[in-house]
Structure 1
Amino acid sequence: MPRRIFVVGVGMTKFVKPNTGGDYPEFAKEAALDAIADAGIKYEDIEQCVCAYVAGDSTSGQRVLYQIGMTGIPIYNINNNCSTGSSGLFLAKQLIEGDISNIIMVLGFEKMKPGALKGNYTDRAAPLEKHIQKMGQMIKIQPGPMTPQYFGNAGIEHMKKYGTTELHIAKVAAKNHRHGARNPRAQNRKAYNVDEVLKSRKIYGPLTKLECCPTSDGAGAAILMSEDAVIRFGLQHKAVEILGMEMATDTPSLFRDKSFIKIVGYDMTVNAAKRLYEKTAVSPKEVDVVELHDCFATNEIITYEGLQLCGEGQAGKFIDAGDNTYGGQVVVNPSGGLIAKGHPLGATGLAQCAELVWQLRGEAGERQVQDARIGLQHNLGLGGAVVVAMYKKGFAATPQRNISSKL
């Protein structure tokens, strides 16, 4: 029998505009200490740490964690583009499953430059150069940032193929802004309506400014434990089980087929989700709450179908029916998603995890999804990787114990 893995503590800072919230050692430390406090353990109880960030020098993780303690444990520094945070969770889960550790902290943080994403180097091959070349074979690449062109073109393809409209895209963004207004940690807490979204500045194709996620500074953290550790520390009342987690990368279809939707990772999402549903024996219809990677509202639409929340080509009907929000089939991005909450790249996967843990514990305040039992996470990085995870409240009501010694 595989080991059961649980999240027992989470922490997340408020996400803010770049350079308005201090430096990464301070806000990453805040998230880490919040997760440790939430779990009710000591830093000395943690056996390994995985630190996730994209824009930063090597050993930035040690720079953060040495402020908390210098216990000599392994500390990993990882980068997997926008899926970095969930990649850290995936790595930690495997280390516990392999009986290498019982208690691991995953810490994601980012201090970003203002404005659109840009490469850091001009003297070497760009990681996404093949993706750019593929897009250039299908359409003339325009001056300016690349990411809106990837996801704007994918949205145009979906509109042409399935009849979705700019109104559907705006409805998704307005829904996320409405949700984000309830989240005290969100970068943007203004509830924009559909007309305001449509009238905001055009960025590329159908995408307006309010349909695009902002760059952000911030951090998130999670403490993962084996079942033995959860019981040893008496944390059953805190524990949320990771029922399953899958990572997928691109397949040859990315470069073989002429599809912008495939360029932005649709096949990765389909493959990872299919394996997740098969291995957990949980149907997408059983999911109550979803945190998915809405870097652009068009990607949320595509991802509804990739995660089987609705049928292929049915996203427009899904949106019009209100099946993506409170009172519908499933609540998608109650946190506000990347569009309202913000997107500090390395922290996003941990923020998604934290939101789902709070929802499944019933601790999400005014954005609480009623009777939430099953949570689904989707985190995408172009170039590429997708991580999907299924969460469930881990134990029946259990009295709390105060044990903080190592196993």
Structure 2
Amino acid sequence: MPLHDTLQPRQAGRRVFVVGVGMTKFFNPGAANSRDYPDMAKEAGQKALADAQIPYSAVEQACIGYVYGDSTSGQRAIYHSLGLTGIPITNVNNNCATGSTALFMARQLIQGGMADCVLALGFEKMEKGSISMTFTDRTNPLDKHVEVVANSCGLSAHPFAPQIFAKAGKEHMEKYGTKPEHFAKIGWKNHKHSVNNPYSQFQKEYTLDEVKTSRQVFDFLTILQCCPTSDGAAAAVLASEAFVRNYDLQSKAVEIVAQEMVTDFPSSFKGNSIIKMVGFDMSKEAARRCYMKSGLKPTDIDVIELHDCFSANELITYEALGLCPEGQGGKLVDRGDNTYGGKWVINPSGGLISKGHPLGATGLAQCAELCWQLRGEAGKRQVPGAKVALQHNLGLGGAVVVTLYKMGFPEAAR
């Protein structure tokens, strides 16, 4: 049992709502329409403020996420586009979970009574090709992860990220009998979903055979089962219950009913399990805490945006989130319980695989998608009757943020 469960329960704090969201279209780094990060941040931030129908002067603090950029890029991103109001601005870097970490920090500021309105904004301007380490003259923060892989199944010269997630998928196949086609079906599903998302980096539908036979990246993983490097930005405006009432935002307020960040346990690095090393136990515990605190169950959820950096991770995460028992992710795929007409619609945006993955923006883009779904504003990709949503964002090194959202403000139905 985690230590915190043996302690006295803390006071829940104030309720927190998302009252405005916005994002840019995600696109290939270095594309002809490439833009600098202040321009992308400006678009996402202005869209979120316009959606909330509030001026930037109402924002009391800002949490700005990015991975690839110099210190205080967050300030530069909003100073000359949203305003110079002197508010505290915190720069956030938590690998691929950076966007949701900015969201987590913003929620804590409001929940703890430190502010009534906080902007969470994330952006990324990336380089083409696989992600690599920036600094080679100091300790690699993933050195223990590398050690697990080297000891369990060996390392190759291939890029680290696709290699380890393919190995996690291979471990799942060997342990539970999952087939390569199950992973390919996830890539096929997410590309199909993205056809209806104007913000998606890719909007082309592929056949399952095209996904299976596309260029091999590592082992069974093909290029259409892997997230691309991306440029883009996304933002969310968070507010207290009092702020929502004062600005008459009840009709569009989406409540964050539970949110948990969890980092690695000893199990991530013991037993030579690649599945655990890539974040399974973090995800499982974060989801468990959210269900416990909210009183909700997986069966109460309608729509999910989860961290499908690779198709293997989406399937593994089904099990970590409690959507099915461990080892039965393949059966969930075969039943179609991850798409329209099934138990859940998972990654209606197209997910990281097709929508794109600008690291600092991803978690906030997930938030935007789920708010649109709960407000009935998702257009052709709308999940019918969506009332409860779950977000899962993973960063190796490591951190997982799981968030549960629910539509409805106490006075909205009166």
Q: TM-score range with shorter-chain normalisation?
A: over 0.9
- Partner residue in 1 for 2:116: 102
What does 1:353-368 correspond to in 2, within 5 Å?
A: 353-368=367-382
Query: What is the CA-CA distance between 1:311 and the residue it aligns to?
Result: 1.2
**Does residue 279 in structure 1 map to residue 303 in structure 2?**
no
- The answer for the alignment partner of 2:165 in structure 1 is 151
Residue number in structure 2 paired with 1:172: 186
Correspondence for 2:58: 45
SS state at 2:390 partner = strand
Q: 1:10 aligns with which of 21, 26, 36?
A: 21
Residue by residue over 1:53-101, the C-alpha shift from the partner in whole angstroms, topping out at 9 and shown as x without a partner, is 0000011011011112100000000100000000111111111111000
Distance 1:233 1:193 in 2: 47
- Tell me the equivalent position of 2:403: 389
1:31 to 36, 44, 58: 44
CA distance in 1, matches of 2:399, 2:151: 23
The more displaced of 77-86 and 388-397 is 388-397
How far did residue 265 of structure 1 move?
A: 0.3
Match for residue 262 of structure 2? 248
* Contact 1:48/1:101, CA 8 A, preserved across alignment: yes
Equivalent of 2:346 in 332, 347, 353: 332
Secondary structure of the 1:237 match is: helix
1:294 maps to which residue?
Answer: 308
Which secondary structure does the structure 1 equivalent of 2:357 belong to? coil
Structure 2 counterparts to residues 226-265 of structure 1, below 5 A: 226-265=240-279
Amino acid at match of 2:30: N
Residue number in structure 2 paired with 1:403: none
Q: Deviations over 1:204-230 (max 9, x none)?
A: 111001000000000000000000000
Aligned equivalents of 1:345 and 1:155: distance in 2?
22
CA displacement at 1:19 relative to structure 2: 2.2
- Are residues 2 and 396 of structure 1, via their aligned partners in 2, closer, same or farther at CA, if it must alter by over 3 Å? closer
Specify the code of the residue in structure 2 equivalent to 1:4: R
CA contact (8 A) 1:39 1:235 kept: yes
Q: Secondary structure at the match of 2:191?
A: helix
Alignment partners' CA distance in 2, 1:2 and 1:124: 40
Is 1:131 matched with 2:142?
Answer: no
Q: Corresponding residue for 2:71?
A: 58
Tell me the distance in 1 between the aligned counterparts of 2:50 and 2:66.
Answer: 22
Instruction: Give 3-state SS (helix, strand or coil) of 1:256's partner.
Output: coil
Contact persistence 1:19–1:111 (CA under 8 A): no
- Which amino acid is the alignment partner of residue 10 of structure 1? V
* TM score, norm. by length of structure 2: 0.95
Partner of 2:219 in structure 1? 205
Tell me, in whole angstroms, the C-alpha distance in 2 between the residues paired with 1:320 and 1:22.
41
Structure 1 letter corresponding to 2:253? A
Which of 310, 316, 323 aligns to 2:324? It is: 310
Say which is worse superposed, 141-150 or 214-223, in terms of deviation.
141-150
Aligned partner of 1:22 in structure 2 is: 35
Superposition CA RMSD, Å: 1.2
CA deviation after TM superposition for structure 1 residue 11, in Å: 0.3
Q: Is the 8 A contact 1:6 1:394 kept in 2?
A: no
Q: Provide the C-alpha distance between the structure 2 equivalents of 1:398 and 1:189, rounded to a whole number of angstroms.
A: 36
1:402: which partner in 2?
Answer: none
Counterpart-to-counterpart distance in 2, 1:291 and 1:108: 17
Contact 1:272 1:388 (C-alpha < 8 Å) held by counterparts = yes
Aligned letter for 1:55? Y
1:225 equivalent among 210, 234, 239? 239
Deviation (angstroms), 1:300: 0.2
SS, match of residue 206 in structure 2: coil
4+ runs deviating over 6 angstroms = none
> What do residues 332-386 of structure 1 show as CA deviations (whole Å, max 9, x unaligned)?
0000000000000000000000000000000000000000000000000001000
8 A Cα contact 1:52 1:107, kept in partner = yes
SS in 1 for 2:392: strand
The secondary structure found in structure 2 opposite 1:203 is strand
**Residues 240 and 391 of structure 1 are in contact (CA less than 8 Å); yes or no, is this contact kept in structure 2?**
yes
Q: Partners in 1 of 2:153 and 2:397 — Cα distance?
A: 19
Residue 396 of structure 1: how far off its partner (Å): 6.2
Q: Which amino acid aligns with 1:6?
A: F
Partner of 2:333: helix, strand, or coil?
helix
Q: Percent identity?
A: 58
Conserved? CA contact 1:109–1:345, under 8 Å: yes
Deviations 1:244-290 (A, max 9, x none): 10010000111221201011000000110111100000000110000
Matched, 1:161 2:175: yes
| Alpha-carbon distance, 1:2 to partner | 2.4
How far has the Cα of 1:301 moved from its partner?
0.3
Distance in 1, Cα, partners of 2:411 & 2:288: 32
Moved more, 323-332 or 133-142: 133-142
CA distance in 1, matches of 2:109, 2:355: 30
Aligned-partner Cα distance in 2 for 1:61–1:238: 27
